[in-house]
């Protein structure tokens, strides 16, 4: 997949802003038709121009792009309230607007010679993977209906399960408190699965410790793996080095999550520095 052009819309109208559960919300934002070409794993960045804080834009993965009956393109994001920007967003109403820039970054790489893939998500890390799951059905049918492993701290951190099952995927769930699915971390059933199956590609998104554990399993089993990193960002444009990660440490390379990511080959990242 190649980098797409992105657009800045200082007046992107909110079409819906729905509370899903606990700290999680879904927001639909009217978007430029360019978003219809967005790749799973790409993201957008938002800023409320009516507020001084936070000063910097905040990145969110593209969760879905839909075209409604009025031929309006709507991009959906799934967000968790963790701080100033997301708290403010949770109080916004349909009809209000945000400044939105996107689609940004590079998405997951998928090739037609892949026969079987699987996905691993932690918490709100499911957001880009649902987009990938539905995109695979349209574009790489042979990879659809695979296995998706979803982990959360509690049942309130587990999202999109019904949606993924309806798309034909097999979902395995774990929660650390045992309130839904198998008790424990998602890496346990995932590792067991890999004893019986050898997918051509693992796609993962979630908190860094989970991604690191998934990457170590993939490296041990020598199964290609791509991870979408949700690191803290500043400018979101490749200009400030705020999101630099060490990549191919033997070459002392640093890449920007906002520009060269957020999706990376898990085998090339320097996990000791993350
Ligand atoms: C490429 C990318 C895609 C993302 N996609 C999503 C998404 O789809 N849904 C979603 O809910 N979030 C996503 N995030 C994370 C999201 O950008 C942050 O949660 C958001 O910027 C927090 O802004 P805030 O002002 O509400 O919180 P702040 O006030 O900035 O921070 C509140 C607290 O959260 C911590 N924090 C902030 N950002 C992160 C982070 N990225 N990782 C870990 N801790 C953090 C801060 O250190 C602080 O303790 C993504 C991040 C990246 C880089
Ligand atoms: S956030 Fe500034 S370079 Fe990536």
Per-residue model confidence as pLDDT tens digits over 84-115: 999 999 999 999 999 999 999 999 999 999 99
Residue 255 CA to ligand 2 centre (angstroms): 10
Q: How confident is the model at residue 1 (pLDDT cuts 50, 70, 90)?
A: very low
Give this prediction's pTM.
Answer: 0.95
Please give the CATH topology (third level) of the domain spanning 7-104: Elongation Factor Tu (Ef-tu); domain 3 (2.40.30)
Residue 3 pLDDT > 90: no
93's CB contacts (< 8 A; 6+ apart) are 14, 17
Stretch(es) of the chain classified as CATH 3.40.50.80:
117-230
**Average pLDDT over the chain, rounded to an integer:** 94
**Ligand 2 pocket mutation, candidates 239, 245, 261, 264, criterion most atoms within 8 A of CB:** 239
Tell the residue nearest (CA) to atom 3 of ligand 2. 238
CATH architecture of the domain covering 117-230: 3-Layer(aba) Sandwich (3.40)
| String of DSSP letters for 20-77 | EETTEEEEEEEE-GGGGGPPTT-EEEEE-TT--SS-S-EEEE--EEEE-TTS-EEEEE
Going by C-alpha positions, the residue among 245, 163, 182, 242 that lies closest to residue 211 is 245
> Helix, strand, coil shares of the chain as percentages rounded to 5?
25, 35, 40
Tell the residue nearest (CA) to atom 10 of ligand 1. 79
Stretch(es) of the chain classified as CATH 2.40.30.10:
7-104
């Amino acid at each position: 997949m190649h980098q797409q052009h992105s657009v800045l819309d200082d007046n992107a109208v909110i079409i819906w802003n729905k509370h899903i559960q606990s700290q999680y919300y879904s927001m639909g934002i009217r978007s430029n038709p360019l978003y219809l070409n967005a790749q799973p794993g790409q993201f957008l960045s938002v800023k409320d121009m009516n507020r001084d804080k936070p000063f910097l834009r905040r990145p969110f993965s593209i969760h879905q792009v839909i075209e409604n009956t009025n031929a309006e393109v709507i991009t959906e994001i799934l967000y968790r309230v963790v701080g100033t920007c997301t708290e403010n967003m949770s109080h916004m109403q349909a009809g209000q607007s945000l400044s939105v820039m996107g689609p940004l970054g590079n998405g997951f790489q998928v090739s037609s010679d892949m026969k079987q893939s699987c996905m691993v998500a932690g918490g709100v890390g499911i957001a880009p993977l649902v987009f990938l799951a539905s995109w695979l059905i349209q574009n790489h049918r042979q990879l659809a209906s695979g296995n998706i492993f979803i982990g959360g701290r509690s049942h309130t951190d587990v999202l999109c399960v019904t949606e993924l099952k309806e798309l034909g995927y097999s979902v395995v769930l774990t929660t650390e408190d045992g309130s839904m699915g198998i008790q424990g971390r998602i890496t346990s059933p995932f590792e067991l699965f890999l004893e019986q199956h050898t997918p051509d590609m693992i796609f993962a998104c979630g908190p860094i410790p989970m991604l690191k554990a998934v990457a170590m399993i993939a490296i041990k089993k020598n199964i290609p793996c791509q991870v979408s990193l949700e690191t803290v960002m500043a400018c979101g444009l490749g200009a400030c080095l705020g999101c630099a990660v060490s990549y191919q440490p033997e070459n002392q390379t640093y890449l920007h999550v906002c520009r060269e990511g957020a999706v990376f080959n898990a085998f090339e990242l320097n996990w000791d520095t993350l």
